[in-house]
Each structure stands twice: as structure tokens, then as C-alpha cells.
Structure 1
């Protein structure tokens, strides 16, 4: 499936990174903000005491630089390999309980 057909909504403490043969790329397009406060979306890892270098070092150490998409939980400093497609990122978000398949579904049953 083509990545261009996939839209993923996720909280600001999640960072999606794509490892391609020619390097690492941060995947993020800000659609809207829930606040009018200034926020440096592209460098949000700094708010959690992390750096881009540290994140990439951890991803490489844990997954040996495998190609594909990664999900970083900045607040918990957790690192996940998702797979080669954006659909794999959505599945990982569901698997770890960050988002729901049906966004209007109530979490309390």
C-alpha cells in the first residue's frame, strides 16, 4: 500500500522516524494544535530531555539500523520497530494502546 494514502493521528509525545537506505527521516506533519502556546514540533524531543542523536543511537543499538518505520514514545523513552509501511505504524500504535481503531469508541467500555 502507498504511504501517501495513510493518515495517522498521534499525540505529541510520540515521534515517528523512517529509516531509508540513504538515512534517517523524521515523519511529522502538524495538522492542528490543541493549544495556542508556542511549541517547537520539529524538536519536541528536547522537552523530554532527549536529543535526535541519542534517539538514533538507541534505535540503531536496539534494532541494528533496520530499514522501515520506528515509533518513539518520548515521555517513557521507549523505542519500537514498526515495519516497512505506514500501516505498520498504525498497527503498533494500536498494539501499545496509544490510539484506538475507532477514535470515538469509549475506553471505559
Structure 2
């Protein structure tokens, strides 16, 4: 699985069988404000007035909880189904103008 770099107001969630797996990220790539950043999932969600339960309900409403990867814009409270492959998350972020294509080596 490759790395996906995305803004902190986005959250990647995977639906696998009957479980929702939240992938909050583990480090900050760039912090323009130099303010401390708490990467804990619960504190991030609280900052935006959300909970894991709220997010799971909204993602389930998209397409009945189909297996695959979902993307949540925490700030705007918008939810998207990306597809069944990790690469689909990168493609969805690119649709939003986030990220760059990998340069050819």
C-alpha cells in the first residue's frame, strides 16, 4: 500500500465486511501555522463536531455500506465513496484538486 498525503480535514475510512476501519494518519507532512497538531482520531473528530458513529451512518447512506474506501471531508461534513482499491482514494482526491500525479522516473 502506498502513502496518500492529504489535508488534515479529510479522513479515509475503509469498509471491510461488517467493520469500518478509520485511517486517521500518523504524522504531519506540512504545518503552515506551526500550531501543535493532535493526531488522535477522537480529538480530530471533536474539533469538527463529529463522531465515528455519525460518520459511519453517513457513509452507510451513500450506498448501503458497500465494501471499499470512503473519504470524509470533516470540515464540510461531506462523504464520498472512492472504490475498492487504495488507488481509488488518490483518484478521488485528484478530482478535488488535491495532490499531484506521481512523476515519471
TM-score by length of 2: 0.83
2:91 alignment partner, SS class: helix
Give the superposition deviation at 1:52.
Answer: 0.8
Unmatched tracts of structure 2, length 5 or more: none
1:80 alignment partner, SS class: strand
Q: What's the Cα RMSD here? A: 1.9
1:55 alignment partner, SS class: helix
Any residues of structure 2 matched to 1:1-109 within 5 Å, and which?
4=1, 6-32=2-28, 34=31, 35=34, 37-43=36-42, 44-101=44-101
Give the superposition deviation at 1:28.
Answer: 3.1
Aligned length: 99
1:76 alignment partner, SS class: coil
